[in-house]
Structure 1
Amino acid sequence: MRLLPAADRMPAPWKNGGGTTWEIAAQPPGAGLDAFDWRLSIAQVATDGPFSVFPGVDRVLTVIAGAGLRLTIEGLGEGQGEVVLDEASKPLPFPGDAAASATLDGGPIRDLNLMVRRGAWRGSVRRIDGAATITAEARVSVLVALAPARAGDQVMAAEDALILDPHATLTVDGRLLLIGIDPA
């Protein structure tokens, strides 16, 4: 296991300049916003506005703090264009090349964003609340703490990430996200 402390992350502007993001991990390491195979990050959404467009990328968006947002996504089909997301919502997969914009429901939010290159990788995000036993089944498995938590013997601060060893099984306790990234 490898701990990636939240305190070590550097802020960077969104691709469209409309907000701030903190990269947790990417493949290849240090890849730019147009050159990654996959990317896991946390973003601060402080104002209403458009999301960055990522052609050829699939996204999974998970609200991790704040009152929530209304996400309007073009091209999802009738009745599926607007989605309301908050801290209890299931992670939302959607195409990164679809035009999307957010309206905040009560102030700034933070979200976790998993992006994978379509056709090469696939990703999933699962919420964990409380004690559970998990197994790292994906090629890359990452735990992200949403509040102070424990993973095995590792104590995690809020927004710390832990890259798990392949096939590792461990007991976790807290509010966490389990991210899985596999070849397509």
Structure 2
Amino acid sequence: MIALHRAAERRFAPWKNGGGQTAEILSMPHGAGFDDFHWRISTARIAHSGPFSAFPGVSRSLTVLEGGPMTLEFADGSRIAAGADSGPAVFSGAAPCHAVVPGGSLLVLNVMVRAPYACAVWRAPGAACQPDAPLARYLLACADILPLGMARHDLAALAPDLDVPEGVTGDNGLIVDILRTPGAG
């Protein structure tokens, strides 16, 4: 483990559009703001239906950690259903998006990347979605992972060239891989 970002130390702040709350876990490069990050990992509280902020040039991946379900509705009429048992909802941050939250509040893992980067979020210990080695790898604890000293919703930065740590399962861990898109310099 390279670094551990404790959930207990996160502070939630209002969304850019005021419709929810976000707690930044990390952004790269360190200290980058909303306009200049390469990638950003955060958790967000969504209490009710409403619009998402636009992030032109950003690819977004939302994974429901608690609560739900939620449906993301887009201006072109397409929809993405997201719940605790579904995979990540991946969409363009430039696309106008409205979240429909029928069953009460939820907590989501939000991963945002700008080209030339991409992300893959997957349940450990399954095979990664991407064939290339990641530039960065993170482990989000979905439950306490005592052998690693991780509490629920802690995020650990892992060595990207190593396998998922022993004791991490599909029930207790999500892996976030940051990759360089094919053909990018």
TM > 0.5: yes
Q: Which of 90, 96, 99 is the equivalent residue of 2:96?
A: 99
Q: Give, in whole Å, the separation in 2 of the partners of 1:127 and 1:38.
A: 20
For the aligned residues, what is the CA RMSD? 1.9
Whether 2:154 is the aligned partner of 1:160: answer yes
Q: 1:110 maps to which residue? A: 107
Normalised by the length of structure 1, the TM-score is 0.87
Runs of at least 5 residues in structure 2 that lack an aligned partner in the other structure: none
1:158 partner amino acid: R
Number of equivalent positions: 174
Correspondence 1:18-167 to 2 at 5 A: 18-75=19-76, 81-117=78-114, 119-128=115-124, 132=125, 137-150=133-146, 153-167=147-161
User: What secondary structure does 2:172 align onto?
Assistant: strand
Partners of 1:67 and 1:86 within 8 A in 2: yes
Instruction: Tell me the equivalent position of 1:14.
Output: 15
Relative to the length of structure 2, the TM-score reads 0.87
Question: Whose strand fraction is larger, Structure 1's or Structure 2's?
Answer: 1
* 8 A contact 1:148–1:158 mirrored in 2: yes
Q: For residue 96 of structure 2, what is the amino acid of its counterpart? A: A
**Which piece of structure 1 moves more, 168-177 or 6-15?**
168-177
Q: CA deviation at 1:134?
A: 7.7
Alpha-carbon distance between aligned partners in 2 of 1:49 and 1:63, rounded to the nearest angstrom:
16
Counterpart-to-counterpart distance in 1, 2:133 and 2:9 = 27
CA distance in 2, matches of 1:70, 1:175: 24
Tell me, in whole angstroms, the C-alpha distance in 1 between the residues paired with 2:65 and 2:57: 25
SS of 1:32's equivalent?
coil
